[in-house]
Structure 1
Amino acid sequence: MMESSTDSYSKSVDEVSQLLGTNPDLGLLDANAAELLKHGRNELKGQGGVNPWKILLGQVANGLTAVLGIAMVVSFAVRDYAEGGVLVLVIAFNTTVGFFQEYRAEKTMDALRKMASPSARVIREGGQHRISSGEVVPGDILIVEVGDIVPADCRLVEVLNLEIDEALLTGEAVPSLKTVEPIAGKDVSIGDRTNMMYSSTTVVKGRGRGIVVSTGMSTEIGKISSAINETATTSTPMQKKLNLMAYVLLGVALIFALIVFAVNRFQFDTEIVIYAIALSIAVIPEGLIAVMTIVQALGVRRMAKQHALVRKLVALESLQAVTNICSDKTGTLTQGKMVVTNIWLPEQNTEYVVGGQGYETVGELSAPEGRPIDREVALKDMNFRTLVECCALCNTANIVEASEGKVWGDPTEIALQVFAYKMQMGKPMLRKLKEPIEEFPFSSDTKRMSMVCQGPSKEVQDVYTKGAEVVLSICDNVMDRTGDLREISENDELMNLVSVQQEEMAKQGLRVLVIAYRQTSERALGKPVSRWEREEVERNLTFLGLVGIRDTPRFESEVSVRQCHQAGITVHMLTGDHKATALSIAKDVGILEPLSASRRSASKRLNKKRDSHVVPMSSLVMTATEFDALSEQEVDALDELPLVIARCTPSTKVRMIDALHRRKKFAAMTGDGVNDAPSLKKSDVGIAMGAGSDVAKTSSDIVLTDNNFATIVQAVAEGRRIFSNIKKFVLHLLSTNVGQVIVLLVGLAFKDVSGTPVFPLSPVQILFLNLVTGTPPAMALGIEAASSTVMQVPPHLKGLFTIELIADIIIYGTFIGILALTNWVLVIYAFGNGNLATQCNKASNLGPCDTVFRARSAVQMAFTWMILFHAFNCRHLRASLFTTEGGGRSRFFSNKLMLEAVFIGAVMPIPTLYIPYLNTDIFKQGGLTWEWVLVAASVVVFFLLSEFYKLLKRRFITTPYNM
């Protein structure tokens, strides 16, 4: 691999040839090519396949799994096989679900290699040779034609109507028309380097010849590959907080174990070690990873039905925190299809607006103010009818089934042909009346194309011409409604009107074509058609009108952008298109809506630090050259980052993401091209389009199968729902653990006659509470429906463990722990004999341990019913349980899975109280009688305390909340 000067576009062909030691006509010598090949093949490096071991390591290398692993090892070390076996199952389940989710979704960067051309035609020693694309070296003379995929970056030396689709690199929907002349200036964007062709782009028209200037990793696509590989993957806020929580809990567990040993004067008897393990189990939420993994997996399935494929589970958490979406334009906010939208007829100064989406061949005509216009009436206007004929016949595109995307040809040609179909005057119908007999193709010199057609009489030939503004210079007449012609003079005010109209259409982001026509004959030109010259045909034309073509926005884009604004999310458009086009689309879809007073007011509410003055348009809409010219300090000094950046390069997109990160924003990047890959990977959430390149999909976290920007809004809402539900079941599980820790720590004070602490809860009871009783309602919390305000509050950037959530965990856990411990004290001391007997931690029969076993059962059942009732508490962290939802439906009955989980969880532990052997030998508990009254009273008191606590929160906490 070698690299020449990166500014080959600014050098002449001779300068580039001299630099690379080649000849534009003869090419390299075989010996020189072989020597150059030693420096490296024309291949992309560093792209490995899927490594299952790496994915597996990523699943187990997290804090919670590490803590559970330590607990498992200790359990087996003290021969507590039941507890150790349960922990093995928990770890195995969590790891398996996460592994297969990421393994199925993971792609490899081999997609970059697959995009390369398998072979190439080069000139060496004066002869043409077809070689493997990997053998192409700098200095080779490369020949390309329609359908070829360019294998390397080249400086063009010869072109013939050469157009190349560079959408993967630039994002532009329209193919780039290539030239040969040097381009002056520094830092010219890729889209403006018309004398270059780049690796992995596709030739859509004409043919050309170029000098290879860069191969392999030195090409533009190679640089993108390097950027992707160098981009580090960072943990999400929730991952960081969960890992931190795991290590904190590990530290707490060690401290509590130390406390147990200290209270027992560091006697390491098996019974004391088991008590320390039991306390550690109470600290660790064994079911948390299982519930989180399952809930996220269910979220993945739910989002797949909404056309969003999640490649990484952590992306679900990242979505809810998104503050800024940096979106590509072509194919994302727009349809990625050129469409005729405006027709302007000169003689009557009449404008038509053409309806229809994409390549649909059905569309209505209307006036600019929206008034419908009958197609049959419009076609009675000979001026308009002839213009439609020109769009259909002066055209090389083919349409088989537009609705299924079966179209071929240049995007502009397709747009014109689809327009003709909408007028029911497509090429197949017109060719029955007029047969094309001669074509003068579009060229970069003439900037126009003409088609000569003749009818059955063959006495008169029709010339249809379309092209750029230069077509006006060869027009002498203008046509009226009846088909009569009127001369155009240089001073005619009509030309001024045409100029104004062209400028107005350009401001709307339209690509403007001039349509013209003439009738002539072989007799008039004095020679048969086969001998006609272009200059003879393309003169004395009749100007028919202007056609405006654009890549139209998706219908859903405007609604989606508005929803983003309501959710406190700012949308940026980063596109390779021209500034005027980008500005027009941005206005159409509402990206520049924040300029309005209402939007500024909303922004001020969401961000009190933002000034309410109007931000200058010049800072909100920039070109990549303007943005890249700013230093980091100047970018950071901007009141707001640009909402639109035109002529965007890959480095500009990455720079934008960096600027957002410096402002502590959480950025999502959408895109579909190779040029989007670095920013997709560097962003907090990379969202690729399903119809885009494999490289973009590989670099992303989420892939939209319908390529619809609207799906992003649904994905964000789903991410917010899932994150909200994660907070609910984290609260539920951890407050249960806090209650257990309180019971066991205080339980150290309850010692038998031998001075050994008596378990208020046995280890098996703790595992049963955490995994069997607590997990199902936590799962039910994980599938809670989204709040009606989920997309009406700002993004949540404070992570999972907010002050409010931590306070809730401690307070609810304290309520549960104290009430459960009250049952223990009442059963043993208030209504019992206060005798703790001996060896009741090991005993397998009632006897003297009857009171202790019944007290354990009371604690167990009080815990069980309180944490089941607490699941209803967690459904909304502030609203009362008496609050109704939409339609007046009680919160108790809106989640059927919750009702089932609570009912089953409430009755499941009851048999363990009365089944012989299972109760005394395994659970170390006994049957209850009158103690059920204490259990029920505990639940009632817990309910009253919870409602009072929520009342205080509603009164004193005013921050927005979507739960």
Structure 2
Amino acid sequence: MSQTSSFGLSSEQVAQRRHDGQVNTLPPRTGKTVGDIIRSNVFTRINAMLSVLFVMVMTTGSVINAAFGLLIIVNSSIGIVQELRAKRTLDSLSLIGEEKPRVWRDGEIVEVAQEDIVLDDVVALRSGNQIAVDGEVVDSDGLSIDESMLTGESDAVRKQPGEDILSGSFVVSGTGAYRVTKVGADSYAARLTAEASRFTLAKSQLQSGINTILKYITWVLVPVGVLIIYSQVSQGTSQWDQVILKISGALVPMIPEGLVLITSTAFALGVIRLGQRQCLVQELPAIEGLARVDVVCADKTGTLTENRMVFESIRLFDDDGALADSKTTASKWNFAQLEEVLAQLGAADQDPNSTMAAIIEAHALDAGEQKWDVESRHAFTSATKWSGITFAGQGSWLLGAADVLAGGSAYAKNAEELGATGLRVVMLAHTDQVVDDDTELSDVEPVGLVVFEQKVRPDAAETLEYFAEQNVTVKVISGDNAASVGAVTRKLGVDSGQAVDARTLTEENFDSQVADNLVFGRVTPDQKRSMVASLQGAGHTVAMTGDGVNDVLALKDADIGVAMGSGAPATRSVAKIVLLDDKFATLPYVVAEGRRVIGNIERVANLFLTKTIYSAVLAMLVIIAAIPFPFQPIHVTITGWFTIGVPAFVLSLPPNNQRARDGFVRRVLWFAVPAGVVVGVSAFVSFWMATGGDFVAGRSYVPESTAALLALIIPSTWVLACVARPLSWWKSILVVLPLLGYGVIFTWDFTQRIFMLDSSNSAMMLQAMVIGAIAVVLIEALWWTVKRFQGEPAILWRHDPLVSRH
């Protein structure tokens, strides 16, 4: 190899390439720039509709009636601020969690940010690394690459010097290096980064449902507006400014102006809250998705147990395959020889995994001790489950699963019995056969067992208990020995039944075994992927947790992939959620955050859609009856703010443990449509009875409009009381405070003048109160009926906290 390909670039060469713009410039980590965020919050469908109506009302000179225009500023400002906060959180966490490629610079390997890679850099590779940019292999020692995310082919591809390597693939086994041939926009990595970390709601069922609702509302607004114009003009209302005010009074409340804002704000706050727990949400719908999960597939190592292992002992076999202690002369091998072998294996391993790292920590070569010459090697993979090195004059020494190296023998049986105690057991074996990555083993001589302690995560038991309480099934899927995996789950207090050896699964019994059992051992990466697909095919929403390169394919295919921060870079890149501090116990907080978002948005959607429905019903009744529209825009503005907007924002914040379900739009419409009809009819009947059905063109109907507004406020406040259930002390205050505010507005002369009200006619106001009370009874009956129809418990009171205690 040339010096450039062997030792990389010099500092001068790197500086020159940067000067020439040959640097790996990446798109924004969150997929949206500040400008994108501002545009997406200002130029919305809601703002467009409100802006048109605002301009129309301002042409009349009635500034107070244009107060709803403040919603444009408020909605946009809150949305921009929250999304910028979320972007800042995501950017900082992405920077912590992203892989730092190891690059040859000035003859040494250094870690650099992906943006600091330049053309012709030589990047060193080891197992689990994701290929950051496109390049050409210059060095390979058993280097195998998984390109399934690019080609769909699941088999790893052996790479030799001179062959191309593409970003988006990852290293399965071996080590090597490649020279960068494409950077920045020329590399597939730019598209991959943008796709993996985009700040988006594109796949959100919740957002999709809200967009569907908004689409229907948009279709209704135009014909209703035209009919209102016709209705008012046909009654003799010739003043254009009065026609505009009537149109605006009818259309403004039909727009659910706060629904989109509260939804995006709830998601953004979720990102920020989880970010404070070192949880990187690479796709926002993952918060919602995990709340819908009913099966969690958890890898054992790195998830239930800590990723780090501690060497415990060497167990030597005697000639009969039994385990001997250190004082027994077992066979031709002795403990001193095995310790030397382990030290040599550690010294020769260029990319030690957690098992080999524990061996190296306990058995490092002494200073000045001669290393054995390596002739060839077989790198460990999750598919073969063994590694080996052929040393000159020493034969080949192997480390791997006992049931793979000596399956069916007394040696393997003893290893399984030891593993069933919860220890991690690896067999050490010898063969005269030369091994490489294509070797089919034969004549293997088991020598002993290398035993490790694997520490169970202190938070694992509590986390599994939480999922059990929430009716979420946890399936442990591991590449380790089934008995060992079963022992670990029993330590956690999980009644998981018999652990299943995945090698016994057949095409005929695969789906049934996956459905009926909870613990699986000796699972290959392809089987993990197939298990996820099997569960999804059975109608489950599946989350997969893992940290190793063997988990990548399953993480990618799962509905929600969750990676540990200390795991392989490839797992972090495909996961939708990354637990940067490796705390499995963070998952319940993610579930709780998702449930908070979904449950609360469904709750407040009932408020906004009820307002839309009663506004549309009132408009249609006015058109049919050919009477003046009873309200000015300022009337519906104060109603929308006090009964809908402010309470809805508060109701979107507290914890909500209700499990997420499909059918969001259908459930909301079941209550919102009939409730909206009741409220709209209540206001219309009150206005009709207050006027006696006698309408004169050009006459002002302020007292009658005030009575109609009261008949609208009373039932719409009861809708708030129903939606807020189960009530608690703070929710009760939330319902009562707007009523106190309305009391001031309706009785104080100053506020009556400002808001164009007149409550001086006591008989008329009492009549409106009676009509409103009847509407309250109907809405209460509706709430109980819908709860029974949907099979949900009707809970009136519960001591819900205002903020989460997490």
State whether structure 2 residue 38 is matched by structure 1 residue 56. Answer: yes
Aligned residue for 1:908, secondary structure, equals helix
State whether structure 2 residue 203 is matched by structure 1 residue 235. Answer: yes
- The Cα RMSD (Å) is 6.3
Which residue in the other structure is 1:909 paired with?
742
Aligned mates of 2:213, 2:532 — CA distance in 1? 29
State whether structure 2 residue 722 is matched by structure 1 residue 873. Answer: yes
Aligned mates of 2:650, 2:125 — CA distance in 1? 63
State whether structure 2 residue 449 is matched by structure 1 residue 546. Answer: yes
Aligned residue for 1:93, secondary structure, equals helix
Aligned residue for 2:103, secondary structure, equals coil
Aligned residue for 1:335, secondary structure, equals strand
Structure 2 contact 634–755 (Cα < 8 Å) conserved: yes
1:933-948 aligned at under 5 Å gives the runs: 933-934=766-767, 936-938=769-771, 940-948=773-781
- Structure 1 residue identity aligned to 2:290: L
Aligned residue for 2:308, secondary structure, equals strand
Aligned mates of 2:314, 2:175 — CA distance in 1? 37
- 1:767 positional shift: 0.9
- Seen in structure 2, the aligned counterparts of structure 1 residues 470 and 59 have a Cα distance that, compared at 3 Å, is same
TM-score (norm. length: structure 2):
0.67
- 1:807 positional shift: 1.9
Aligned mates of 1:334, 1:313 — CA distance in 2? 28
1:697-846 aligned at under 5 Å gives the runs: 702-748=577-623, 757-787=627-657, 790=658, 796-798=661-663, 800-802=664-666, 804-829=667-692, 836=695, 839-840=698-699
- 1:118 positional shift: 5.4
State whether structure 2 residue 707 is matched by structure 1 residue 858. Answer: yes
- Seen in structure 2, the aligned counterparts of structure 1 residues 857 and 778 have a Cα distance that, compared at 3 Å, is same
- Structure 1 residue identity aligned to 2:156: S
Which residue in the other structure is 1:258 paired with?
226
Which residue in the other structure is 1:101 paired with?
85
- 1:387 positional shift: 7.4
- Seen in structure 2, the aligned counterparts of structure 1 residues 26 and 861 have a Cα distance that, compared at 3 Å, is closer
Aligned residue for 2:306, secondary structure, equals strand
- Structure 2 residue identity aligned to 1:739: Y
Q: Deviations for 1:265-310, whole angstroms, at most 9, x for unmatched residues?
A: 5778221222122211121122323433444445445545655354
Aligned mates of 1:870, 1:227 — CA distance in 2? 47
Aligned mates of 2:472, 2:715 — CA distance in 1? 39
In structure 2, the gaps of 5 or more residues are 109-115, 169-173, 378-386, 395-407, 431-445, 797-806
Which residue in the other structure is 2:252 paired with?
281
Q: Deviations for 1:747-796, whole angstroms, at most 9, x for unmatched residues?
A: 34677xxxxx4332221010111123322322343234434xx35xxx52
Structure 1 contact 335–553 (Cα < 8 Å) conserved: yes
Q: Deviations for 1:471-497, whole angstroms, at most 9, x for unmatched residues?
A: 9x99xxxxxxxxxxxxxxxxxxxx975
Structure 1 contact 318–685 (Cα < 8 Å) conserved: yes
Which residue in the other structure is 1:128 paired with?
none
- 1:911 positional shift: 2.5
Aligned residue for 1:730, secondary structure, equals helix
- Seen in structure 2, the aligned counterparts of structure 1 residues 868 and 412 have a Cα distance that, compared at 3 Å, is same
State whether structure 2 residue 156 is matched by structure 1 residue 189. Answer: yes
Structure 2 contact 787–794 (Cα < 8 Å) conserved: no
State whether structure 2 residue 464 is matched by structure 1 residue 512. Answer: no
Which residue in the other structure is 2:103 paired with?
117
1:204-215 aligned at under 5 Å gives the runs: 215=180
Aligned mates of 2:293, 2:646 — CA distance in 1? 30
Q: 1:415 aligns with which of 344, 353, 358?
A: 358
State whether structure 2 residue 74 is matched by structure 1 residue 90. Answer: yes
- Structure 2 residue identity aligned to 1:439: E
Structure 1 contact 564–713 (Cα < 8 Å) conserved: yes
- Seen in structure 2, the aligned counterparts of structure 1 residues 828 and 587 have a Cα distance that, compared at 3 Å, is farther
Q: Deviations for 1:95-149, whole angstroms, at most 9, x for unmatched residues?
A: 3234313421343999879525152649xxxxxxxxx974548xx99999xxxx9
Which residue in the other structure is 2:505 paired with?
617
- Structure 2 residue identity aligned to 1:279: A
Larger radius of gyration: 1
1:121-270 aligned at under 5 Å gives the runs: 121=107, 134=118, 136=120, 154=137, 156=139, 189=156, 215-216=180-181, 227=192, 234-264=202-232, 269-270=240-241
Aligned mates of 2:163, 2:253 — CA distance in 1? 67
Aligned residue for 1:923, secondary structure, equals coil
- Structure 1 residue identity aligned to 2:608: L
Aligned residue for 2:506, secondary structure, equals helix
Structure 2 contact 86–269 (Cα < 8 Å) conserved: no
- Seen in structure 2, the aligned counterparts of structure 1 residues 962 and 217 have a Cα distance that, compared at 3 Å, is farther
Structure 2 contact 305–455 (Cα < 8 Å) conserved: yes
TM-score (norm. length: structure 1):
0.57
State whether structure 2 residue 407 is matched by structure 1 residue 501. Answer: no
Q: Deviations for 1:689-748, whole angstroms, at most 9, x for unmatched residues?
A: 444578876776544343233322331233123211211111122213322333343234
Structure 2 contact 210–260 (Cα < 8 Å) conserved: no
Q: 1:922 aligns with which of 749, 755, 764?
A: 755
Which residue in the other structure is 1:439 paired with?
369
Aligned mates of 1:441, 1:773 — CA distance in 2? 79
Aligned residue for 1:512, secondary structure, equals strand
Aligned residue for 1:549, secondary structure, equals strand
In structure 1, the gaps of 5 or more residues are 1-16, 123-131, 171-185, 202-207, 353-377, 399-407, 421-426, 428-434, 448-466, 475-494, 517-542, 600-613, 623-634, 752-756, 841-848, 877-890
- 1:189 positional shift: 2.8
Aligned mates of 2:570, 2:6 — CA distance in 1? 36
Q: Deviations for 1:339-395, whole angstroms, at most 9, x for unmatched residues?
A: 34677576899999xxxxxxxxxxxxxxxxxxxxxxxxx999999xx9799989987
- Seen in structure 2, the aligned counterparts of structure 1 residues 192 and 235 have a Cα distance that, compared at 3 Å, is same
Aligned mates of 2:497, 2:567 — CA distance in 1? 37
- Seen in structure 2, the aligned counterparts of structure 1 residues 79 and 321 have a Cα distance that, compared at 3 Å, is farther
Aligned mates of 2:255, 2:371 — CA distance in 1? 75
Aligned mates of 2:764, 2:772 — CA distance in 1? 13
- Seen in structure 2, the aligned counterparts of structure 1 residues 561 and 79 have a Cα distance that, compared at 3 Å, is farther
Aligned residue for 1:331, secondary structure, equals coil
Aligned mates of 1:559, 1:312 — CA distance in 2? 27
Aligned mates of 1:84, 1:862 — CA distance in 2? 22
- Seen in structure 2, the aligned counterparts of structure 1 residues 42 and 549 have a Cα distance that, compared at 3 Å, is farther
Aligned residue for 1:768, secondary structure, equals helix
Structure 1 contact 686–702 (Cα < 8 Å) conserved: yes
Number of equivalenced pairs:
704
- Seen in structure 2, the aligned counterparts of structure 1 residues 818 and 388 have a Cα distance that, compared at 3 Å, is farther
Aligned mates of 2:747, 2:674 — CA distance in 1? 33
- Seen in structure 2, the aligned counterparts of structure 1 residues 805 and 331 have a Cα distance that, compared at 3 Å, is same
1:219-368 aligned at under 5 Å gives the runs: 227=192, 234-264=202-232, 269-304=240-275, 308-310=279-281, 314-322=285-293, 331-340=302-311, 344=315
Which residue in the other structure is 2:782 paired with?
949
Q: Deviations for 1:783-837, whole angstroms, at most 9, x for unmatched residues?
A: 34434xx35xxx5233x202x32121111112222233333344333xxxx6656
